[in-house]
Amino acid sequence: MEYGIKLEIFEGPMDLLLHLIQKSDLDIYDIPISKITSEYLAYLNLMKEMNLEVAGDFLIMAATLMRIKSKMLLPQHEDEDEEEFEDPRAEITKRLLEYKKFKEASKVLKINLEKQKDVFFRKTQPEFTVEDFGIDVSLFDLMDAFRKVLEKAKKSSKEIIKEEFTIEDKIRIILSLLEGKKFVSFYSIFLKDESRYSVIITFLALLELIKISQIYVRQNEAFSEIRIYRKIS
């Protein structure tokens, strides 16, 4: 049966209705509502016979069509002005025209899509090397973060009663790390600090050394490590 093949391609009641109108070459502005309603219902029955689930949307449209049909059967009042008379089909005609517009538009889009599929763009990102990278963290940011840790540490310093290192100790350690070397990594000076307190002491030692111009801290290039250099006087 002809319907059998077409069954699945309808995108909804609007699509089915439009198909029924176009199939019989009917005037969308003057839909023979009785004919269309029975064809529509026949189609729904067919769907049921084929054990296809008839979506609620299709049933709502069936109800709408039947309502229009019954309204059409009501006698028209003679005294009613032509202009005031509202065709019960007006609403569905408007909706069908609107739907048809977008169905056509979707065909135009499909043509666009077909044309574009032969056009290829570059997907490859350029390969970046180390020097292409920047970092959003400056040494200042890092110091600022430490300052915050320091503030926090002050509040909880009562817990830490015994600390084996003093700032002087740490200064000595940093300087000894630098001995015979041009520089050491910023991180390396904290590596044997097992507690937060110890980290803070090391940091304070670092600040002290900067203050007394024994060392300077710099980042040679974007994203390279932060290094501590001994000042040569």
Region 71-130 residues binding another protein, contact defined as CB under 8 A: 95, 97-110, 112-113, 115-128, 130
Binding residues for another protein restricted to 30-49, rule: CB under 8 A: none
**Closest approach of another protein to the CB of residue 125, in Å:** 6
Using a 10 angstrom Cβ sphere, with 0-12 exposed, 13-18 middle and 19 or more buried, the burial of residue 215 is buried
Q: Describe the strand order of the beta sheet including 215-219 as a list of residue ranges.
A: 183-185, 226-230, 215-219
Q: What value, to the nearest 5°, has the Cα angle with vertex 206 and ends 205 and 210? A: 115
Residue 191 lies near another protein (rule: CB under 8 A): yes
Binding residues for another protein restricted to 14-33, rule: CB under 8 A: 14-15, 22
Closer of 30 and 57 to another protein (Cβ): 57
**Distance in angstroms (rounded) separating the CA atoms of residues 132 and 224:** 11
**Distance in angstroms (rounded) separating the CA atoms of residues 211 and 158:** 28
**Distance in angstroms (rounded) separating the CA atoms of residues 65 and 56:** 14
- List 30, 80, 168, 225, residue binding another protein (CB under 8 A): 225
**Listed ranges 31-39, 76-84, 138-146, 201-209: which one lies at the site for another protein (CB under 8 A):** 138-146
Residue 179, classed as helix, strand or coil, is coil
Closer of 45 and 224 to another protein (Cβ): 224
Beta-ladder partners of 185: 227
Closer of 85 and 133 to another protein (Cβ): 133
**Distance in angstroms (rounded) separating the CA atoms of residues 216 and 166:** 21
| Best CA proximity match to 203, nearest among 223, 186, 224 | 186
**Closest approach of another protein to the CB of residue 99, in Å:** 6
Closer of 82 and 136 to another protein (Cβ): 136
Residue 166 lies near another protein (rule: CB under 8 A): no
Residue 187 lies near another protein (rule: CB under 8 A): yes
Residue 188 lies near another protein (rule: CB under 8 A): yes
- List 34, 86, 224, 231, residue binding another protein (CB under 8 A): 224
